[in-house]
Amino acid sequence: MLLGTWNLENLYLPGGPFGPSDKASFEAKLAALAETVTALDPGLLGVQEVGDPQALADLTSVLGGTWHTALSEHADSRGIRVGFLSRHPLTVIADTAAFPGQLLAVQSDDHADPVARMGRGALAVRIEPDQGPELVAAVCHLKSKLLSYPGGRFQPRDEGERARYGAYALFRRAAEATTLRALADTLLDGRGKERAVVVLGDLNDEEGAATTQLLQGPPGSEIGTPGFDRPDKGDAHRLWNVAPLIPQDRRFSRIHSGRPELIDHILVSHRLLDEVESAGTGLSGTATTQPLPSVDESPAERRDAAGSDHAPVWIRLRS
């Protein structure tokens, strides 16, 4: 069974301030997305940047066959949210955005009131595959590193403003990662050795970033470290990032200003560690069906682009 995560990049119906400008561009986008999903053939795919529920329904129509979907009710100011595409029936077990009770609200810009919730909710589902254990999966889309400024600007007035808004984004991403970790704690319930739990999504930062590290639980047993093969009491609470299992030359899911980076991640509970047969990005043998574009600080330029500016990240579980 293949599990994956993919940022679909502004999946909106045509028209409106964020969607493709015309029907032809929308249909080209759906065709490009469907080509990748069909080639990937996932049993479960976490998706991000679904702007219109109907657009996701249109994608499943293009895909054909039987697909089950779920979408978070918590969308951001642009209406984008996270969700799942599944070959198996699924049950929503959590859809959350509020920070944990102990975590105070964080500053989000120079003037607005502090925020105490994720910009886009985290959604958790349960599926029962035809083979293998019952699986619980949570999908997320954390605060972006691509900064926006007052008045819809993507460029700062000066370096002081850039630094402040970079800090605000980091505050929010850290708080959102903490919220996601709290959800993972609930899903694991201290039984990660028995429970098949997957946390996946667009974390908007790389493997070594502090916000990404927050999700892993007690340090010392990461894949590739000396402690990986040494069982300890933290194993029941940990999540393991599969990034080290991705071949080095494929270890990226987006290209920002010409630099490849892995910002989409899959983390698994101890129960699933031995079940991961392989991990990768894009499609087998290639980075994507087409080369990834290099994105910059002006995302609106890709309004009519087909496909996505992200590559899917996936793991294959032994049957």
* H or E element, residue 271: helix 270-273
Q: Is 265 exposed, middle or buried (0-12, 13-18, 19+ CB in 10 A)?
A: buried
At 91, is the pLDDT very low, low, confident or very high (cuts 50, 70, 90)?
very high
**Cα–Cα distance for residue pair 276/269, rounded to 1 Å:** 11
Query: What are the counts of helices (DSSP H) followed by strands (DSSP E) for the chain?
Result: 5, 15
Number of other residues whose CB lies within 10 A of the CB of residue 270: 23
pTM: 0.95
At 26, is the pLDDT very low, low, confident or very high (cuts 50, 70, 90)?
very high
Q: Is 234 exposed, middle or buried (0-12, 13-18, 19+ CB in 10 A)?
A: middle
> Mean per-residue pLDDT for 33-56?
97
- pLDDT above 80 (res 313): yes
Q: In the chain, what percentage of residues exceed pLDDT 70? A: 96
- pLDDT above 90 (res 282): yes
- pLDDT above 60 (res 287): no
Q: Could you tell me which of 71, 52, 34, 69 has the C-alpha nearest to residue 308?
A: 34
- pLDDT above 80 (res 300): no
Q: In the chain, what percentage of residues exceed pLDDT 90? A: 82
- pLDDT value of residue 140: 98
In tens, the pLDDT along 241-258 reads 999 999 999 999 999 889
Sign for the CA dihedral angle at 271, 274, 276, 279 comes to positive
- Tell me which DSSP letter residue 54 carries: H
- pLDDT above 60 (res 4): yes
- pLDDT above 60 (res 164): yes
What value does the mean pLDDT of the chain take?
93
Strands 196-202 and 135-141, by their bridges, are parallel
- pLDDT value of residue 130: 79
**Cα–Cα distance for residue pair 151/149, rounded to 1 Å:** 6
> Mean per-residue pLDDT for 286-307?
74
- pLDDT value of residue 286: 44
Higher pLDDT, 301 or 116: 116
At 267, is the pLDDT very low, low, confident or very high (cuts 50, 70, 90)?
very high
> Mean per-residue pLDDT for 288-300?
72
- Tell me which DSSP letter residue 71 carries: E
- The two tokens of residue 171 are 């505050």
**Cα–Cα distance for residue pair 170/203, rounded to 1 Å:** 12
N- to C-terminal Cα separation, the chain: 7
> Mean per-residue pLDDT for 187-201?
97
> Mean per-residue pLDDT for 159-175?
96
- pLDDT value of residue 299: 63
- Asked if 310 and 11 touch (Cβ cutoff 8 Å), the reply is no
**Cα–Cα distance for residue pair 110/204, rounded to 1 Å:** 22
- pLDDT value of residue 217: 86
- pLDDT above 60 (res 288): no
